[in-house]
Structure 1
Amino acid sequence: MSNSIDPSLFSAHEQALNHQPCPKCGGALQLRRAKLGPFLGCEHYPQCDYIKPLHHNDGHIVKPLGVACPECQHELVLRQGRYGMFIGCSNYPICHHIESPTANTPKKNHTSHLVCPECRQGHLIERQSRFGKAFYACDAFPKCKFAVNQPPLAGQCQVCGFQLLVEKKFASGTKHLCANRKCAHVQSAD
């Protein structure tokens, strides 16, 4: 079996592209291949650097929502993208309207009275990862990048003196751990 790609797979693209001129210089567009996938490139490269990807990573459509786009009146669709689910216009790339799927739901106030132990200026707040899992991070982000995965508790580590503990559930019961990753001392929840 040959390891080369069958050129007949690309012949439909090549025949469809023979009549498209380069929008920058008017030269012919040629099908090129790179490690990120096939693309159209100008025949006058490197003088003309026009490229057009043939494979778009715009997110695939999960389901149409039946609601009109506020910008162009086309239908909004739920898409799965690189950073999770989002609502976008079905008329993309002409219309670039996007919104969060949780934009209409009221946000709960998950601020904490706990001061960030790293920067001592921000407070720890509950946030969600792109997969929907809760974590707790400093509200001074991006200046402070402190974050923990378990619910934070006020307290001090008995070993290293770090000013924050996290609550973790084990089969033997709930324990308090030092939030300092270098220490991670386990204390009883007493």
Structure 2
Amino acid sequence: MTDDSALFDLPQQQQLCPLCQQPLAMKSGKNGPFLGCSAYPACNYIKALHQHETSIVKVLDSEACPQCGNALAVKNGRYGMFIGCTDYPRCNFVVHEHGEQTDAERLACPKCKQGQLTERVNKFGKAFWGCDNYPKCKFLLNDKPVAGACVACYFALLVERKGVLYCADKKCGEKQPAV
């Protein structure tokens, strides 16, 4: 048997807060553990324990970035595999899984009337639609938006759930008659 007590006798190297020079302490939050300043709330410095770095899996020399002309690469990031420009962060071009939507497919945001609804994917891989004017406009839908107006409240957008159209206004939600 080995003596494990010697491992606990080693002095731990204490990290100091770069803002106030107080020791950093291990804390837990909704996104997991992190290091935070022990002088909180006087000092609110935090440091992530796990960096969400993106690694290049394979460079696609035959494919050029349409924005800057550099090569594209298959990358592994926080939400899985994707194709992006090798000149990141100067160029932030990313190929989206479902392709770019044409202007005819894009619908105007009914809330701010300035942005357009775009399909996005949350960290669990589920699709949702939100205004591209975020964070100024926080309109979002969990169901696919469809052009049209509600017959009950005249809201300017419908959603499709299991092949049936409903009003996109959460206050109404009225089922629409079949066309």
TM-score by length of 2: 0.54
1:187 aligns with 2:176: yes
Residue type matched to 1:132 in 2? G
The unaligned stretches of length 5 or more in structure 1 are 1-7, 68-76, 88-96
Q: How far 1:178 moved relative to its partner?
A: 0.5
Q: What does the per-residue CA deviation read over 1:102-156, in whole Å, with 9 as the maximum and x for residues that have no partner?
A: 9467872125342111111112122222222222211212111111122211111
**Aligned partners of 2:174, 2:145: CA distance in 1, in Å?**
14
Among 151, 158, 162, the residue aligned to 1:158: 151
1:15 aligns with 2:4: no
State how many pairs are aligned. 145
Name the counterpart of 2:108. 115
CA-based RMSD: 4.8
The unaligned stretches of length 5 or more in structure 2 are 60-74, 83-87
- For the 8 Å contact 1:31–1:38, the answer to whether it is kept is no
Name the counterpart of 1:93. none
**Aligned partners of 1:10, 1:64: CA distance in 2, in Å?**
42
- For the 8 Å contact 1:17–1:30, the answer to whether it is kept is no
Residue type matched to 1:118 in 2? K
1:138 aligns with 2:131: yes
**Aligned partners of 1:10, 1:144: CA distance in 2, in Å?**
57
**Aligned partners of 1:161, 1:40: CA distance in 2, in Å?**
50
- For the 8 Å contact 1:14–1:30, the answer to whether it is kept is no
Tell me: CA distance 1:33–1:134, structure 2 relative to 1, closer, same or farther (3 Å): closer
Percent identity, aligned pairs only?
Answer: 29
Name the counterpart of 2:71. none
Tell me: CA distance 1:188–1:34, structure 2 relative to 1, closer, same or farther (3 Å): same
Residue type matched to 1:114 in 2? L
- For the 8 Å contact 1:114–1:123, the answer to whether it is kept is yes
Q: What does the per-residue CA deviation read over 1:5-61, in whole Å, with 9 as the maximum and x for residues that have no partner?
A: xxx99973650537x79698xx9x98966556697989xx89xx8x997x9233599
**Aligned partners of 2:160, 2:36: CA distance in 1, in Å?**
54
Tell me: CA distance 1:105–1:119, structure 2 relative to 1, closer, same or farther (3 Å): closer
